[in-house]
């Protein structure tokens, strides 16, 4: 039988008769970066909470690193790193002291790797926790999630509040862990983040997994809003023939459109003219759900 | 129990605790200031008569205002609110969940919080008794006999109120329900003493188990303390069971 880092079978959870998870079945392989994409309240964090035994499922089973996450909760949590969505840090201690406490809770870790991670994220460990910015608090959360080199890392909205440089550092770190054969599960509302770093992505909608897509598939189906400004007015007909272009609007020397997948053809066509500016925007989660899956992301 | 988490809790909550200590000392000071005015009031006589007819007015005043009313109300309010705050509220629940993401058994987290609550209740009770004694002596009065004999019972009573707070904090997300429960509990504490039915009604009040059948006698009644201790143990276990089953959404 194939060894799976994470396996859930028909996992369901109701809160006050309201379903939070409905029959979620997922499999994560060793060395895989797996994404959970969905709007707020779609069940991503609830799934993490079940895996860490904060809450008990109404139905179904979850195995983490081959162990039942309820019966072997302690062993599971020893081998798993976790970054919560909402991180509350205590007052009256410095970030460095806090990391030492986290290390002590894991039975006493060598702090060298934690300091290395803190340096990579450029977080000042001398600062008191109450003086840390939202981004720095998130970085401390990331350091504590990675510092014991866990087999599986669960990250809930990891790049929220992070500046671009820290986001890139996080993606590099995830790639390094992946290369070492460790697995990372990321819950996020950001389509671009998912398509950028995940091998596979489970799309959540109202507690259900409506699709599991490969990262490349997601990239191919990704929709971008493009706005181009030319030096002179252009003939819109030259863009009409492009197969992956939608919602084309031409306004004298400006062209607005959406591109599904690769924008190569559009750019090559546009390059016949003098382009002054080009803006590419990621679609919102709502737009992706509507255009790709034909459903609203948020419950009515 | 984990010593590091216990220390963290104390560091985190030291200001709140200090505020309650100041409140308690303030109450003792207010009683001392009001002594010349209130000691001759007729209702003080009536209350002393109801609680213990054998006491003289002066000792009755001090015992009524301090260990019978002051400490159970202030200490109990602190314990009840603090007990609840240790487990309720979104930020607290998030930090508990974060702790539980580490390889810590739930009972360890619970016991650490209960140990903090017990130590805070004990310290507050001691502060209450010491400040009360200080104020009595400062006003030129003598300490009522057996005043410190009431300390163990008062501590257990305060702790019991704290455990009720813990239980409600774990079970109820509603702020108003907590307050309502606290007020009902404090009312039940004194209500049986207001009844004329006699000693049988007193047994419904935890105050009877804390301070004895004649609460102002200042004598420790071991059987009563044991019953109160059993209540505390049961409260601690009930809280632990509720925390073990708590779903940290």
**pLDDT band at B59; cut points 50, 70, 90:** confident
On whether the CB atoms of residues B61 and B44 are closer than 8 A, the answer is yes
CB contact (8 A) between residue B94 and residue A77: no
Residues on B contacting A at a C-beta cutoff of 8 Å: 4, 8, 11-12, 90-91, 94-95, 97-105, 247-249
Convert the pLDDT of each residue in A144-175 to its tens digit. 999 999 999 999 999 988 999 999 999 999 99
A16-20, A139-143, B75-79, B244-248: least confidently modelled range: A16-20
On whether the CB atoms of residues B147 and B63 are closer than 8 A, the answer is yes
On whether the CB atoms of residues A263 and A225 are closer than 8 A, the answer is no
The number of angstroms, rounded, from the C-alpha of B148 to the middle of its chain's C-alpha atoms is 16
Residues on A contacting B at a C-beta cutoff of 8 Å: 15, 46, 49, 52-56, 74-75, 77-78, 80, 82, 84, 86-88, 90-93, 101-102, 104-107
**pLDDT band at B194; cut points 50, 70, 90:** low
Convert the pLDDT of each residue in A116-142 to its tens digit. 999 999 999 999 988 999 999 999 999
Q: Three-state SS for A79?
A: helix
**Residue of A19, A58, A88, A146 for testing the chain B interface, max B β-carbons within 10 Å:** A88
Q: Compare all CA atoms of chain B with the CA of A105 and give the residue at the minimum distance.
A: B102
- What does the block give as tokens for B206? 């935890």
Mean pLDDT of chain B: 84
Convert the pLDDT of each residue in A235-274 to its tens digit. 888 888 888 888 888 888 899 988 887 888 889 888 888 9
Task: Sort A11 into a burial class: Cβ within 10 Å, 0-12 / 13-18 / 19+.
Answer: buried
- What does the block give as tokens for A260? 């599904």
CB contact (8 A) between residue A82 and residue B101: yes
CB contact (8 A) between residue A77 and residue B8: no
**pLDDT band at A298; cut points 50, 70, 90:** low
Residue B36 has pLDDT above 90, yes or no: no
CB contact (8 A) between residue A74 and residue B103: yes
CB contact (8 A) between residue B94 and residue A82: no
Most confident of the ranges A166-175, B46-55, B177-186, B223-232: A166-175
**pLDDT band at B198; cut points 50, 70, 90:** low
Minimum distance, in Å, between the CA of residue A296 and any CA atom of chain B: 25
CB contact (8 A) between residue A86 and residue B103: no
Question: Among A252, A257, A249, A247, which residue's Cα sits nearest to residue A279?
Answer: A257
**DSSP alpha helices (H): ranges in chain A?**
44-51, 73-79, 95-105, 112-120, 134-146, 164-179, 191-197, 215-221, 237-240, 264-270, 285-288
CA-CA distance, B155 to B210, in Å (whole number)?
8
Convert the pLDDT of each residue in B103-155 to its tens digit. 999 999 999 999 999 999 999 999 999 998 898 888 888 887 777 878 888 89
Which residues sit opposite A204 in a β-bridge?
Answer: A209
- The per-residue pLDDT for B205 is 77
CB atoms within 10 A of CB A150: 21
- The per-residue pLDDT for A120 is 94
Strand A223-230 and strand A67-68: pairing? unpaired
**pLDDT band at A26; cut points 50, 70, 90:** very high
CB contact (8 A) between residue A15 and residue B249: yes
Strand A33-37 and strand A200-205: pairing? parallel
- The per-residue pLDDT for A278 is 92
What does the H/E/C string look like for A158-222? CCCCCCHHHHHHHHHHHHHHHHCCCEEEEEECCHHHHHHHCCEEEEEECCEEEEEEEHHHHHHHC
Q: Which residues of A29-58 are buried (b: 16+ CB within 10 A; e: fewer)?
A: ebebbbbbbbbeebbbbbbbbbbbbbbebe
Q: Compare all CA atoms of chain B with the CA of A57 and give the residue at the minimum distance.
A: B247
Q: B100 to chain A: which residues are within 8 Å by CB? A: 52-54, 77
Q: What percent of chain B has pLDDT over 70?
A: 90
Minimum distance, in Å, between the CA of residue B174 and any CA atom of chain A: 15
Minimum distance, in Å, between the CA of residue A126 and any CA atom of chain B: 18
Residue A1 has pLDDT above 90, yes or no: no
């Amino acid at each position: 039988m194939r060894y799976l880092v994470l396996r859930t079978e028909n996992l369901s959870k109701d809160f006050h008769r309201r379903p939070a998870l409905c029959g979620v079945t997922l499999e994560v392989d060793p060395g895989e970066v797996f994404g959970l994409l969905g709007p707020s309240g779609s069940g991503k964090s609830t799934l993490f909470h079940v895996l860490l035994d904060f809450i008990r499922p109404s139905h179904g089973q979850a195995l983490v690193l081959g162990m039942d996450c309820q019966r072997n909760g302690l062993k599971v949590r020893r081998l798993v790193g976790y970054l919560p969505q909402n991180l509350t840090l205590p007052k009256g201690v410095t970030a460095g002291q806090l990391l030492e406490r986290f290390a002590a809770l894991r039975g006493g870790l060598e702090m060298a790797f934690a300091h290395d991670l803190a340096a990579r994220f450029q977080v000042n460990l001398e600062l008191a926790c109450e003086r840390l910015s939202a981004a720095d608090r998130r970085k401390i959360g990331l350091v504590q999630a990675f510092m014991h080199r866990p087999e599986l890392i669960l990250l809930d909205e990891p790049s929220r509040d992070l500046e671009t440089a820290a986001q890139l550092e996080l993606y590099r770190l995830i790639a390094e862990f992946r290369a070492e054969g460790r697995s990372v599960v990321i819950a996020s509302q950001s389509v671009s983040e998912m398509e950028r770093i995940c091998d596979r992505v489970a799309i959540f909608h109202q507690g259900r997994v409506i699709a599991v897509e490969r990262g490349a598939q997601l990239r191919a189906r990704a929709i971008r809003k493009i706005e181009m400004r030319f030096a002179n007015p252009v003939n819109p007909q030259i863009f009409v023939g492009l197969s992956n272009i939608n919602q084309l609007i031409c306004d004298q020397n400006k062209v607005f459109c959406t591109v599904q997948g690769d924008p190569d053809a559009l750019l090559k066509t546009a390059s016949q003219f003098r382009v002054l500016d080009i803006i590419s925007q990621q679609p919102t989660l709502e737009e992706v759900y509507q255009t790709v899956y034909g459903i609203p992301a948020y419950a009515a | 129990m984990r010593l590091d988490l216990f220390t963290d809790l104390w560091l985190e909550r030291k200001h709140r605790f200090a505020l309650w200590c100041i409140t308690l000392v303030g109450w003792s000071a207010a009683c001392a200031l009001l002594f010349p005015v209130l000691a001759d009031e007729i209702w003080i006589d009536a209350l002393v008569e109801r609680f213990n007819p054998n006491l003289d007015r002066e000792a009755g005043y001090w015992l009524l205002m301090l260990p019978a009313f002051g400490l159970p109300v202030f200490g109990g309010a602190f314990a009840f609110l603090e007990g609840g705050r240790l487990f309720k509220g979104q930020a607290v629940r998030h930090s508990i969940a974060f702790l539980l993401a580490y390889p810590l058994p739930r009972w360890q987290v619970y016991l650490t919080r209960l140990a903090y609550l017990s130590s805070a209740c004990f310290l507050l009770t001691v502060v209450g008794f010491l400040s009360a004694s200080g104020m009595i002596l400062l006003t030129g009065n003598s300490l009522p006999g057996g005043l410190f004999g009431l300390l163990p019972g008062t501590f257990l009573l305060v702790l019991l109120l704290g455990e009720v707070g813990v239980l409600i904090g774990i079970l109820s997300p509603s702020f108003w329900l907590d307050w309502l429960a606290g007020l009902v509990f404090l009312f039940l504490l004194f209500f049986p003493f207001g009844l004329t039915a006699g000693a049988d009604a007193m047994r419904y009040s935890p105050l009877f188990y804390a301070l004895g059948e004649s609460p102002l006698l200042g004598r420790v009644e071991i059987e009563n303390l044991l019953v109160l201790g059993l209540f505390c143990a049961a409260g601690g276990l009930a809280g632990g069971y509720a925390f073990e089953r708590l779903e940290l959404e």
